[in-house]
Copies of this chain bind each other. A is one copy, B any other.
Amino acid sequence: MDVPSLQVKSSKHTYPIIVRPGCRTSLYDYLVQYLDGASRYFLITDDQVASLYLEEIESSFPNSEKIKSYILPSGEQSKSMNQYEKAITAALEFKLDRKSVIIAVGGGVVGDLGGFVASTYMRGIRYVQVPTTLLAHDSSVGGKVGINHPLGKNMIGSFHPPSLVLYDPECLLSLPPKEWRSGFAEVIKHGFIADREFLKWLTEEISSFDQVDMALLTEMLIRSIKVKAKIVQEDEQESGIRAFLNFGHTLGHAIEGEMGYGKLTHGEAVAIGMKFALRLSERYFQTKLDYEPYLSVMEKLGYELDIPHNLNVEQLIHRMKLDKKSYNQVINFVLLEQIGKATLVEIKEEILIDELTGKVG
């Protein structure tokens, strides 16, 4: 059958990533090819994805007794303790055992929750990521899984690499523009932190999210995933360079949290955080980064890059101190020394207050 688009080495095993238009309709064949002796499959998805793709996927299974689908309400709210517990209960009722496999079909919400269920079900079983959003090209690779807590996003979770990532770019055609923007922010981020050439290519090739060419889209996904895969291979547990993937996320998460999860998409918040981090980078390194051309492409694509006016500076700072990169109440930021070269630095609270004030209420 297919040769994987790439392979990712994790501390536990090496897993293939397959990016291939149309692969959803023969999902079962891929499972058989890439996973040994799965006793049962528990497919987790959300209601929107289910209405679009579940029938096609389920009908690729020859034996419907071996698969059970579990449908979450769509949206960030489902990455909760409550939904986590319910999914575990359903998995136990379906009698998943240690040789069973969870299949997460959906965006980052389904992938993060489904992966967390897999990582803690009977102390960890295998799972497959089947990303259906653009953002999930990022979230499905690297093994970070988890759920939110009212006191902070992704505060509960673990590292549990998938056993296979199966990505059908055709699924992206049903995404609304807001979701394209959400995912494309992470694509751009991969350019900013590690691959200037890719960033240039992107801003030349992608000027709209309508009628994206399937071959171009596939190429973009593979190149972007490559950046992510290279970083997580080098530093799976985020003791060093993996933190670079949080470029734009420190403020982005704080904004998401302050506005209430789900008001802005993840990527829309990250885009605001990237602009902020670019400006902070210039100040910190006393340099010019010439990032304006990239930002203007982003604006053309519909991104709103300024911090929403109704937010409170102190609250944002409070949230940033809770960020997982912060220790002892000190805020760490991913900044760029150059376009394509990230680094992690400690930023004084006064500087953040200064940079945020005026931009925020």
Q: Assess the A155–B97 pair: CB atoms within 8 A.
A: no
Which A139-154 residues have C-beta < 8 A from chain B?
A: 144, 146, 149, 151-152, 154
Total identical chains = 2
Q: Is A88 interfacial (CB 8 A cutoff)?
A: yes
Q: Assess the B97–A327 pair: CB atoms within 8 A.
A: yes
Chain B residues contacting A156 (CB-CB under 8 Å) are: 88, 120-121
- Alpha-carbon separation in the docked complex, A226 to B289 (Å): 59
Main secondary structure of the interface of A (DSSP, over half): mixed
Size band of the A side of the interface? 35 or more
Q: Assess the A324–B98 pair: CB atoms within 8 A.
A: yes
Which A112-138 residues have C-beta < 8 A from chain B?
A: 119-124
Tell me how far the C-beta of A245 lies from the nearest C-beta in chain B, rounded to whole angstroms: 13
Chain B residues contacting A328 (CB-CB under 8 Å) are: 39, 97, 99
Chain B residues contacting A326 (CB-CB under 8 Å) are: 97
Q: Is A157 interfacial (CB 8 A cutoff)?
A: yes
Q: Is A95 interfacial (CB 8 A cutoff)?
A: yes
Q: Assess the A122–B88 pair: CB atoms within 8 A.
A: no
Q: Assess the A151–B327 pair: CB atoms within 8 A.
A: no
Tell me how far the C-beta of A216 lies from the nearest C-beta in chain B, rounded to whole angstroms: 34
Q: Assess the A93–B158 pair: CB atoms within 8 A.
A: no
Are A123 and B157 also in contact (CB < 8 A) when A81-B85, A151-B92 are? Answer: yes
Of chain B, the residue at the smallest CB distance from A151 is: B92
- Alpha-carbon separation in the docked complex, A81 to B237 (Å): 26
Q: Is A329 interfacial (CB 8 A cutoff)?
A: yes
Q: Is A70 interfacial (CB 8 A cutoff)?
A: no
Q: Assess the A120–B120 pair: CB atoms within 8 A.
A: yes
Chain B residues contacting A92 (CB-CB under 8 Å) are: 149, 151-152, 155, 322
5 A-B pairs with CB atoms under 8 Å apart are: A95-B329, A120-B120, A122-B157, A123-B157, A124-B159
For the A-B complex with A95-B329, A123-B157 known, give 13 more contacts whose Cβ atoms are closer than 8 Å.
A39-B328, A92-B155, A97-B327, A99-B327, A121-B155, A122-B155, A122-B157, A123-B154, A123-B159, A123-B238, A124-B158, A124-B159, A124-B237
